[in-house]
Chains A and B, each alone.
Chain A
Amino acid sequence: MSGDSTLARLAAERATGALHGCVGALYLADGAVVHAESPAVPDVGWRLTAGGRLSPESWDEAVEEGGPDYRAGSFLVEHGRLSRGELELCHLSALFDAAYFVLSPLDTTQRVPDRFLKEAKHWFGPVRPVSVPLLQREVRRRRCLLERAWPRPEVDAAPVVPVAGAGGAGRGGPLPPTCGRQAVLAAADGVRTPLQIARALGRSAFATLLDVRRLAAAGLVRTPEADLPGTAVRPARLSPPAPTAAAPEISLLYRIRDALEAL
């Protein structure tokens, strides 16, 4: 991927600035990634206010007071709004989440950012810089996790439709989805897509996508029928990235076999 090599070059040059495009931006400082933003994922402010950890007023105050000096994040800690640990956890979670959708856009017609604005800084300020190789490895791992969970990227962008009456199909009795997945299933109204559910819950978009794939694999969420695998080559522009070309087909066949046996 060209985005990967651009990023590797910027890391090698210890560049500072923003690598940006229509799918979002990665901010670098001295060649390490210090911030990432993508319209696909809830940002730090949304995550902190959605669950009530911060009031919208506290958040706005940090942006207004700390933003001009590029240190809105540190402002929250210095004024006792968050612990340093909370800031780091929330920011890293948002950073890796956004970076995934910047480097691996759901809509494959979109290009990975290739424009670099030198010396651009983000108003949130650096929290815990992430090395470019680590970030790239993590993006690859996340792609593989989605593929392993349920190799049908059609569910990523489609409305999440719960399967009526499903839920008792697993071996050894009913297996209700729990925790995050429970919330995702409860928010699935047949209209909202996985990313819209993530936004509504103030939750990681990647984790939500993974939940939806797992729910689909468990038969609790409908997988769109549109294009059955193996019948035709899907037009690349409609399908989100499929990192490995050959492997998914085999794992898909195994899954179909397992699903049939479980009936």
Chain B
Amino acid sequence: MTGIDGCLAEAMAIPGARGASLVDWTSGLALGVAGEGPGGDHETSAADAAELARLAFENAAFTRSAAGPGPVEDVIVTARGGYHLIRFVETAFDSSVFLYLWLDRAEANLAVALFRLKALAGRLVVT
């Protein structure tokens, strides 16, 4: 993997992938994009996904657990025609980014996509 573009290229190799982006959820800025965006526009979908991500990430209702608070890892939206996956990227310095993957529902396998996206998010920030 070579940085953001390599990571997004690998995300596009996940079966059923139609579009992938790396988004900063503080502002909704897409730092990198690949494939197509829902509605043909990465910029708008990145901003929309960022709103959803921020709500989930910052809301204590989603971070409580029996074992103590832990961060949100994924947000999954299933729609009639597609899946939308948000995978938060954990870094050892301050950041607020997630990988956003848009999948064709007929071609994708949700479990496989989640598993591979998780691995990608980890490898992006491992030396």
Contacts and interface: CB of A to CB of B under 8 A. Distances in A.
Interface of A: 47-48, 50-53, 80-90, 92-93, 96, 128, 138, 141-142, 145, 175-181, 201-204, 206-207, 210
Interface of B: 1-4, 6-7, 24, 26-29, 31-32, 47, 57-60, 63, 71, 89, 91-97, 123-127
A128 B4 contact: yes
Given A85-B125, A89-B97, A206-B27, A52 B3 contact: no
A206 B127 contact: no
B94 A202 contact: yes
A93 B60 contact: no
B94 A51 contact: yes
B27 A81 contact: no
Nearest to A179: B58
A81 B96 contact: no
Nearest to B124: A85
Given A52-B92, A207-B96, A86 B27 contact: no
Given A85-B4, A181-B58, 4 more contacts: A84-B2, A86-B125, A86-B127, A180-B96
19 contacts: A50-B94, A51-B93, A53-B92, A53-B93, A82-B127, A83-B127, A84-B1, A84-B3, A86-B125, A87-B3, A88-B31, A89-B91, A90-B93, A93-B94, A96-B29, A178-B63, A179-B58, A180-B58, A180-B96
Contacts of B97: 89
Contacts of A85: 1, 3-4, 7, 123-125
